[in-house]
Structure 1
Amino acid sequence: MEEKKLDTKSILGFVLIAGLMIWMMYNNIDKEKKSMAEDAEKAKIEKVEKAKEAAVNKVMADTTKADSLRVKALQSSLGAFAYSASLPSAKENLTEVTNGLLTLKIANKGGYITEATVNGYEQFNKDSKKQVELIKQNNANLNLQINTQDNRILNTKDLYFEPTVTKEGENQVVTMRLKAGANQFLEYRYVLKPKEYMMDFAIRSQGLNSVVNTSKPLEMEWQLKSFRNEKSVSYENRYTDLVYEYEDGKDNSLSATSKLDEKSVEKVTYVAFKQHFFTSILLTDTPFKTAQLKSENLVHDEKIDTVYTKNFVARLPLEFKNGELSYNMNWYYGPSDYKTLNSYNKNLDEVMPLGWGIFGWINRYVFIPVYSVLSDFMPHGIAIIIFTILVRLVMSPVTYKSYLSQAKMKVLRPEIAELNEKYGKDPMKKQQETMKLYNKAGVNPMAGCLPAVMQIPVFYALFQFFPSYFDLRQKSFLWADDLSSYDSVLHLPFYIPFYGNHVSLFPILASVAIFFYMKMTTGDQAMSTPPQEGMPDMSKIMKIMIYVSPIMMLFFFNNYASGLSLYYFISNTITIGIMLVIKNYIVNEEKIHAQIQENKTKPQKQSKFQRKMQEMMEQAEAQKNAKQNKK
Structure 2
Amino acid sequence: MEKRLVLAIALSLLVLLSWSALAPKPQPIDNQSVIENKASLSTAAQAVAPVVSPLASVAPDMDLTEDVIKFTQENREIIFNPATASIVDVIFKKGIEHHLPLKIGFLTDPTLVFKQQTLTNDSISFVYEDPDKRIIKKFTIPNNSYTIELQIQTQNLSSSVLAFNPQLVLGRLDLSAKNSQSRYQDVFLNNREKNMHLAAGKDFSSPDIKFIGLRDQYFCTIIEPTNVGASAYVKKIKPQESEVGLLLKETNVKAGGQIGHLFRIYLGPQELNVINNINSEWSAIIYFGIFDFIAQLLLQLLGFFYGLVHNWGLAIIILSVVVYFLLFPLSIKQMRSMKEMQVLQPKIEALRKELKDNPQKLNKEIMELYKEHKVNPLGGCLPLLLQMPIFFALYQALIRSVALRGAHFLWIKDLSSPDKAFVFKNSIPLLGNQVNILPILMAIGMFVQQKISTTQATGEAAQQQKMMSIIMPIMFGVIFYQMPSGLVLYWFVNSLLMLCYQFRINSQK
TM-score normalised by length of structure 2: 0.72
User: How big is the shift at 1:451?
Assistant: 0.7
Name 1:159's counterpart in structure 2.
114
Name 2:234's counterpart in structure 1.
292
State the alpha-carbon separation in 2 of the partners of residues 360 and 297 from structure 1. Answer: 31
User: How big is the shift at 1:106?
Assistant: 5.2
Query: 3-state DSSP class of the match of 1:488?
Result: coil
Name 1:333's counterpart in structure 2.
267
State the alpha-carbon separation in 2 of the partners of residues 283 and 293 from structure 1. Answer: 19
State the alpha-carbon separation in 2 of the partners of residues 539 and 234 from structure 1. Answer: 45
Which of residues 445, 458, 475 is equivalent to 1:513?
445
Aligned AA (2:84): G
Name 1:30's counterpart in structure 2.
none
Name 2:306's counterpart in structure 1.
375
Structure-to-structure mapping, 1:419-430, within 5 angstroms: 419-420=351-352, 423-430=355-362
Query: 3-state DSSP class of the match of 1:291?
Result: strand
Name 1:198's counterpart in structure 2.
147
User: How big is the shift at 1:287?
Assistant: 6.3
User: How big is the shift at 1:447?
Assistant: 1.1
Structure-to-structure mapping, 1:54-69, within 5 angstroms: none
User: How big is the shift at 1:515?
Assistant: 1.7
State the alpha-carbon separation in 2 of the partners of residues 316 and 576 from structure 1. Answer: 55
Query: 3-state DSSP class of the match of 1:461?
Result: helix
Structure-to-structure mapping, 1:243-258, within 5 angstroms: 243-245=187-189, 247=191, 248-254=193-199
User: How big is the shift at 1:242?
Assistant: 3.5
Return 5+ residue gaps in structure 1 as ranges: 1-90, 124-131, 146-153, 167-171, 227-232, 256-260, 299-310, 532-536, 589-631
Seen in structure 2, the aligned counterparts of structure 1 residues 140 and 384 have a Cα distance that, compared at 3 Å, is closer
State the alpha-carbon separation in 1 of the partners of residues 429 and 263 from structure 2. Answer: 45
Which of residues 250, 253, 257 is equivalent to 1:320?
250
State the alpha-carbon separation in 2 of the partners of residues 419 and 513 from structure 1. Answer: 34
State the alpha-carbon separation in 2 of the partners of residues 235 and 484 from structure 1. Answer: 17
Contact 1:164 1:176 in 2 (8 A): no
Name 1:402's counterpart in structure 2.
334
Contact 1:491 1:503 in 2 (8 A): yes
2:204 is aligned with 1:264: yes
Name 2:169's counterpart in structure 1.
221
Contact 1:242 1:254 in 2 (8 A): yes
Which of residues 453, 469, 476 is equivalent to 1:553?
476
Return 5+ residue gaps in structure 2 as ranges: 1-65
User: How big is the shift at 1:376?
Assistant: 1.5
User: How big is the shift at 1:509?
Assistant: 0.9
Measured on the aligned residues, the alpha-carbon RMSD in Å equals: 3.9
Name 1:568's counterpart in structure 2.
491
Aligned AA (1:415): K
Structure-to-structure mapping, 1:114-153, within 5 angstroms: 116-123=90-97, 132=98, 134=100, 141-145=105-109
> Greater shift after overlay, 511-520 or 399-408?
511-520
Name 2:136's counterpart in structure 1.
187
Seen in structure 2, the aligned counterparts of structure 1 residues 278 and 500 have a Cα distance that, compared at 3 Å, is farther
Seen in structure 2, the aligned counterparts of structure 1 residues 275 and 430 have a Cα distance that, compared at 3 Å, is closer
Seen in structure 2, the aligned counterparts of structure 1 residues 484 and 212 have a Cα distance that, compared at 3 Å, is farther
Deviations 1:299-345 (A, max 9, x none): xxxxxxxxxxxx66324323313447654322222223343234444
TM-score normalised by length of structure 1: 0.59
Contact 2:95 2:405 in 1 (8 A): no
Structure-to-structure mapping, 1:64-143, within 5 angstroms: 96=71, 98=73, 100-104=74-78, 108-113=82-87, 116-123=90-97, 132=98, 134=100, 141-143=105-107
User: How big is the shift at 1:373?
Assistant: 1.3
Which of residues 412, 427, 438 is equivalent to 2:344?
412
Seen in structure 2, the aligned counterparts of structure 1 residues 407 and 253 have a Cα distance that, compared at 3 Å, is same
Contact 2:101 2:181 in 1 (8 A): no
User: How big is the shift at 1:401?
Assistant: 0.3
Contact 1:143 1:155 in 2 (8 A): no
Bigger Rg, which one:
1
State the alpha-carbon separation in 2 of the partners of residues 239 and 483 from structure 1. Answer: 20
User: How big is the shift at 1:425?
Assistant: 4.8
State the alpha-carbon separation in 1 of the partners of residues 238 and 421 from structure 2. Answer: 33
Seen in structure 2, the aligned counterparts of structure 1 residues 425 and 104 have a Cα distance that, compared at 3 Å, is closer
Bigger helix share: 1
User: How big is the shift at 1:540?
Assistant: 3.1
Aligned AA (2:490): Y
Name 1:241's counterpart in structure 2.
185
Query: 3-state DSSP class of the match of 2:502?
Result: helix
User: How big is the shift at 1:452?
Assistant: 0.9
Seen in structure 2, the aligned counterparts of structure 1 residues 413 and 361 have a Cα distance that, compared at 3 Å, is same
State the alpha-carbon separation in 2 of the partners of residues 450 and 117 from structure 1. Answer: 46
User: How big is the shift at 1:289?
Assistant: 2.5
Aligned AA (1:544): M
State the alpha-carbon separation in 2 of the partners of residues 470 and 245 from structure 1. Answer: 22
Considering Cα pairs closer than 8 Å and 6+ residues apart, tell me whether 1 or 2 has the greater RCO: 2
Deviations 1:356-385 (A, max 9, x none): 22x2111112x1121111112322222222
Contact 1:486 1:560 in 2 (8 A): yes
State the alpha-carbon separation in 1 of the partners of residues 465 and 312 from structure 2. Answer: 36
Aligned AA (1:467): I
State the alpha-carbon separation in 1 of the partners of residues 430 and 178 from structure 2. Answer: 11
User: How big is the shift at 1:456?
Assistant: 0.6
User: How big is the shift at 1:105?
Assistant: 5.9
Contact 2:421 2:434 in 1 (8 A): yes
State the alpha-carbon separation in 2 of the partners of residues 234 and 106 from structure 1. Answer: 24
Aligned AA (1:558): Y
Query: 3-state DSSP class of the match of 2:370?
Result: helix
User: How big is the shift at 1:110?
Assistant: 2.8
State the alpha-carbon separation in 2 of the partners of residues 504 and 290 from structure 1. Answer: 44
2:321 is aligned with 1:389: yes
State the alpha-carbon separation in 2 of the partners of residues 415 and 555 from structure 1. Answer: 37
Seen in structure 2, the aligned counterparts of structure 1 residues 242 and 436 have a Cα distance that, compared at 3 Å, is closer
State the alpha-carbon separation in 1 of the partners of residues 199 and 446 from structure 2. Answer: 34
User: How big is the shift at 1:476?
Assistant: 1.2
Deviations 1:233-277 (A, max 9, x none): 98953654243325443433436xxxxx35233245555443433
Query: 3-state DSSP class of the match of 1:155?
Result: coil
